[in-house]
Each structure stands twice: as C-alpha cells, then as structure tokens.
C-alpha cells in the first residue's frame, strides 16, 4: 500500500482521470466519486461501453478510445476485469492504475508495475483525497 506521501505525489501529478465503469446513477459511488474528483479540479473522462455523456464529458467506449493523455485509470469494475484493464492502461500510457475500494488483483498489479505504472488497490480515490486534503 502506498504511503500518504506517495498518494499526495500521485494527486499532485494528476490532471486527467479515466474512470472505468463510471455510472450515470447518482446513488452509486461510480458516479459520486468521479463527480467529487471533478469538483476538485481533475478532468474526468468517463469510460463505459454505453457511451453517451456523463458529468458534462463525453463517455469514451474504452480506454483505447480516449484521444489524449491520461494520468490515472480509476477502476470501478470487478477484480476479474482488472488484468485486462491494466494492460489497456499501460497501452495508453497512463501513470497510475487505481482499483477502487473492494477491488484487489495481484495479476493486474504485476502487469501494471511491469509496465512502469504505480498501483493503488482496494482504496477509494475520492475518500482518500478527502482524508488527505481535509475536504469533508
């Protein structure tokens, strides 16, 4: 698990977050967490095969469909999907693979780390940001 100093460095270096599994349902964490991160100044790129628009941003149908740099790939999908998402995150040049609270995949971590990505697992990107920056 990364230290608070390492987490602070990740946030400081992050401008764009691709949120895989982002939801339009405001009652789901996969909606409220990206909305919170967006409110904190991060650019959010929702990723879902459904496409459309979410949080005022066009939804990319896959990580490969994103047409610009991505700093963090924030994953709200089951752990079984994490290894493939780690490969895709590496392929698009992301710097961090972040698996949300409740998601852990040693295989995804190995894939991402071998490609030079930092890995955070089983940790909510929003609540961690709130804890570190005092935004409650």
Q: Cβ of 12: how many Cβ atoms within 10 Å?
A: 7
Which pLDDT value is given to residue 135? 67
pTM recorded for the entire structure:
0.96
Q: Is 108 helix (H, G, I), strand (E, B) or coil?
A: helix
Which pLDDT value is given to residue 136? 54
Q: Is 48 helix (H, G, I), strand (E, B) or coil?
A: coil
Mean pLDDT of the region 78-95: 98
Mean pLDDT of the region 1-20: 96
- Domain coordinates in residue numbering, the chain: 4-133
Segment 14-73, tens digit of pLDDT: 999 999 999 999 999 999 999 999 999 999 999 999 999 999 999 999 999 998 999 999
Which residues fall within 8 angstroms of residue 65, CB to CB, at 6 or more apart? none
Cα 93 to Cα 5, 45, 77, 104, 113: the distances in Å are 23, 15, 20, 21, 12
Q: Which CATH superfamily is domain 4-133 in?
A: NAD(P)-binding Rossmann-like Domain (3.40.50.720)
By percentage, how much of the chain surpasses pLDDT 70?
Answer: 99
How big, in percent rounded to 5, are the helix, strand and coil portions of the chain?
Answer: 40, 20, 40
Which pLDDT value is given to residue 67? 87
């Amino acid at each position: 698990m990364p230290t608070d100093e390492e987490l602070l460095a990740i946030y400081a270096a992050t401008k764009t977050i691709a949120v895989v599994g982002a939801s339009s349902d405001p009652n789901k964490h996969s909606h409220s967490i990206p909305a919170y991160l967006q409110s904190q100044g991060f650019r959010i790129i929702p990723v879902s095969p459904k496409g459309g628009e979410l949080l005022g941003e066009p939804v990319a149908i896959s990580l490969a469909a994103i047409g610009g740099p991505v700093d963090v790939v924030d994953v709200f999908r089951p752990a079984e999907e994490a290894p493939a998402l780690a490969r895709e995150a590496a392929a698009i040049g992301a710097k961090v693979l972040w698996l949300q609270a409740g998601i852990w995949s040693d295989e995804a971590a190995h894939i991402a780390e071998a490609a030079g990505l930092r890995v955070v697992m089983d940790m909510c990107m929003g609540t961690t940001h709130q804890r570190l920056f005092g935004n409650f």
